[in-house]
Structure 1
């Protein structure tokens, strides 16, 4: 029985920045990400956004996204195994999500920058699922 979609239980419920935040605060026409960096106002998508989840599923299923030069570090089955909370698996999950977000348009590098999802960047570093350290620093 091969899973056909991602297990949302292993995806943080919040990426640390809400799309549309801080419009024109730092740069005209841009919204504001972590460290007051300008980001596209549609970044990041919500963690439960169907387009994001669909692209993530595609990445985990085919082993790369958006093209073969960007290899996915984890399989769909391993990504979905909520009982595996190891540091390495959580880092690989975050990396897979970051790869998809950075190429969300379907073209390599045309998506959302890291400063639009600090929770995932922190998870890549720490291996802690949806670590709140960055969110707390961002003004909780």
Structure 2
């Protein structure tokens, strides 16, 4: 369910510094391409949830509304974000407000 994937809370390309860095959460520098397109990200999260892992890193993506399930979904989303384009090739957690 795409509605269970947390919103990034940050838009890509904010305050570019001319060297490929932009500003993320808490003024941390992040790649200007981060966070990614939401639909692309949702597809990656759904694929990882179905596989039970993202690039070999185990994830849980429960669908109930418990606090623990929400934490698990956020954790899974961060792992997918960090492995978006391959193992360790993605966006940092600072590209979100999760």
Q: Are 1:10 and 2:4 an aligned pair? A: yes
Between the aligned partners of 1:57 and 1:9, the Cα distance in structure 2 is: 11
Q: What corresponds to 1:36 in structure 2?
A: 27
Question: Deviation string for 1:95-119 (max 9, x for gaps)?
Answer: 11111101111x222101011112x
Displacement of 1:46 after TM fit? Answer: 3.9
Q: How many residues align?
A: 98
Between the aligned partners of 1:100 and 1:11, the Cα distance in structure 2 is: 11
Where in structure 2 are there 5+ consecutive unaligned residues?
Answer: none
TM-score by length of 1: 0.64
Question: Deviation string for 1:40-91 (max 9, x for gaps)?
Answer: 11111243x2x21221111111111112xx10123xxx33xxxx21110000
Larger Rg computed on CA atoms: 1
Q: Are 1:22 and 2:15 an aligned pair? A: yes
Q: What corresponds to 1:59 in structure 2?
A: 48
TM-score by length of 2: 0.88
Between the aligned partners of 2:22 and 2:84, the Cα distance in structure 1 is: 17
Q: What corresponds to 2:74 in structure 1?
A: 94
Q: Which runs of 4+ in 1 moved over 4 A?
A: none
RMSD: 1.6
Where in structure 1 are there 5+ consecutive unaligned residues?
Answer: 1-6, 121-140
SS at match of 1:44: coil
SS at match of 2:79: helix
